[in-house]
Structure 1
């Protein structure tokens, strides 16, 4: 089937009033910290990258997409744009793209990334016919980049200052060249930050034009509280217009960017509808693999009141269910845990033991059990708080991010721990 590339509303101004796009929020982790970014805050009335009212697994994302196209048949593009970086969440991103391509062969596929870890995935992106990729490149001079990025985490190593900027910029420019060699349409986003890179954007435009970029989006910096740049005011409209005019000597300009959320859907510039938001929340309440029947939640607890036990220390799993008639949650079973030892085999036994549970709630968990359980379709959720509040919130699809012990990490608060 011939993909209709002209129907992408972000890359074709004439298409933006007719065709819509949908962003699937399957990528929560980020591998860099920008000094203008804070993903802790999420108001449904704000449009900015890095926020999403819910996170989805690849299976949930496909379910949501099927519902979304019924509500909005004009959706022509499926994109992944966070709320972190797609390739800091490469397994989830690539699996989502595979599922969508198989189910919707006519859809345009699109990814927006910082470019740090893009290069290894370009061959499969081409194979999946991902037609459009956006890279945010804010500087080509490492000295300027060092002012913009607090840290970069690549291949399990932390980098800061000039070293971090050099690594990021080098990977971005190499990936841009590789995208064009693969025949993929490439857009470059450059955020105009007054007093930081506003006089440098022209150099960025010239360089990315040399490497084959197709279109440039010079978008104004968005002031966000509790960031390093929170005291920098947003650029005035005349500054943005002057920069767009100057850089148009090198590349066509995108001037209709709405700084979309990671869960944006519909026509660019329009807010997500209540009906669409409910479909997103409904998908997030499903098991990670929605085709499976997993009606329960498992919990590790020392005394049966709080989520307060490390997964590896659990001697039993408390299993909770919800009565659909009354909406009340209750303890339905207590299952003895497999004996310690045995490595991966123990965690496979745990997965079999709680195979009817869509998630396991614990106070902490190691990488190995988390990976095994996730592979088996059981989400490991690291929480702290009252069991009843957690399980009731999850069954009812409420936002319980305030209970997650790793919420600060996923919010990119600046530590960099574990965000790779």
Structure 2
């Protein structure tokens, strides 16, 4: 059955009060640094792009969408817009879209990106029937772009200044051409930054039109503490109206954008409800792959009462589960010997394939990445095991104190660490 594009509230203002959207915050990393952006996680106090109260795995994102649909929320669109860039996190983004398309074949799918890394994925996006792609293009003159972006990272190589802006623009143009070649709807977002690109909006609109873009969305910059543009004044409504009037001579303008958070949910004109925030928190505290049967939790503990051991120093892990209505240590499992590098953590992940989470007082980035990839939720904390298990099995946030010491700093263990 063909998708009904008229149900997309961002592209059809006539249905903005009837159909809603949900943004899935599965993409925490970003590959550029804009002068107006400060990404925040675990934040419920700000309503702007780059902000989310939780970050989800693809499996958790599907769990969340299922919950919203089953509860009767009028969601017609699933989008991915951060809190970083979807294609600085391509594995998470694409797997999320695959899961949603398979489970919800009638759902509209869209993504919003800076355009730097989307190119290699456009063909599959079209296969998945992602109907709308948004690219944020703030300048078509690299000299202006150099004033907007602090850096651009391509394959771990950071670029700055003119070189960064030139690369980003080149990738954006390539992406625009490929998107239209695959017959997808293309929207261009432009952040209006007073004194930086406000005189350049018409040029962006004209160029976007020449490349076949379907809609243009001029968004007023929001001054954000801790950013390069924090001391600039926010554009006035009159400035935005004037810019839209000028850009509108080239292409249609979107005028009802809400500058949505990366975890926005519901109708455009409504804020995210407490009920929805609760559903998001439950999803974030579900197993990384909620459909898998993983009844146990692994714990790095010295005496079986507290989480108080660094993973790299633990010779064995206690495996907890529910028995007779109580959380009990059911067995212990030896950890692989140190010194084998990545193979050590691959073996550990296999040995914990029936565990939904692992609780440790400290852990390095390499084992964290391997364990999460294998579907384990890695919880870094210190505190009572029983209370933490209660929260994990109830799908609640773990609120135990976190260790602030980075792995390798002031380590009091044997020095074997996470290698």
TM-score by length of 1: 0.87
Partners of 1:3 and 1:133 in 2: CA distance: 15
Q: Report deviation, 1:60.
A: 1.1
Identify if the C-alpha distance between structure 1 residues 393 and 31 changes in structure 2 by more than 3 Å, giving closer, same or farther.
farther
Cross-structure match for 1:196: 196
Q: Report deviation, 1:322.
A: 7.7
Between 290-299 and 163-172, the greater mean CA deviation after superposition: 290-299
Identify if the C-alpha distance between structure 1 residues 344 and 209 changes in structure 2 by more than 3 Å, giving closer, same or farther.
same
**1:338-359, Cα deviation, whole Å (9 max, x unpaired):** 2234555433331233233223
Name the Cα RMSD after superposition. 2.8
**1:93-121, Cα deviation, whole Å (9 max, x unpaired):** 10110111111111111001111100000
Q: Report deviation, 1:379.
A: 3.3
Give the 5 Å matches for 1:94-243. 94-243=94-243
Q: Report deviation, 1:295.
A: 4.1
**1:313-332, Cα deviation, whole Å (9 max, x unpaired):** 43222445689978xx7766
**1:246-267, Cα deviation, whole Å (9 max, x unpaired):** 0001110000000111111111
Between 31-40 and 122-131, the greater mean CA deviation after superposition: 31-40
Between 162-171 and 288-297, the greater mean CA deviation after superposition: 288-297
Give the 5 Å matches for 1:264-275. 264-275=264-275
Structure 1 residues without counterparts, runs of 5 or longer:
408-420
Structure 2 residues without counterparts, runs of 5 or longer:
407-419
Q: Which has the larger radius of gyration?
A: 2
Cross-structure match for 1:339: 337
Q: 8 Å contact 2:41–2:52 — kept in the other structure? A: no
**Number of equivalences:** 402
Partners of 2:265 and 2:196 in 1: CA distance: 32
Partners of 2:152 and 2:400 in 1: CA distance: 25
Q: Report deviation, 1:19.
A: 1.2
Q: Report deviation, 1:406.
A: 11
Partners of 2:377 and 2:43 in 1: CA distance: 26
1:338 is paired with a residue of what secondary structure?
coil
Query: Runs of 4 or more off by more than 6 Å in structure 1?
Result: 301-304, 322-326, 329-332, 389-393, 404-407
Q: Report deviation, 1:181.
A: 0.8
2:79 is paired with a residue of what secondary structure?
strand
**1:265-293, Cα deviation, whole Å (9 max, x unpaired):** 11112111222221111111111111223
Cross-structure match for 1:32: 32
Q: Report deviation, 1:306.
A: 6.2
Partners of 1:349 and 1:29 in 2: CA distance: 27
Give the 5 Å matches for 1:14-413. 14-40=14-40, 43-300=43-300, 309=310, 311-319=311-319, 334-362=332-360, 363-367=362-366, 369-381=367-379, 383=380, 385-386=382-383, 397-398=396-397, 403=402
Between 248-257 and 198-207, the greater mean CA deviation after superposition: 198-207
Partners of 1:386 and 1:16 in 2: CA distance: 46
Identify if the C-alpha distance between structure 1 residues 71 and 384 changes in structure 2 by more than 3 Å, giving closer, same or farther.
closer
**1:13-39, Cα deviation, whole Å (9 max, x unpaired):** 112122111111111111111111112
Q: 8 Å contact 2:41–2:54 — kept in the other structure? A: no
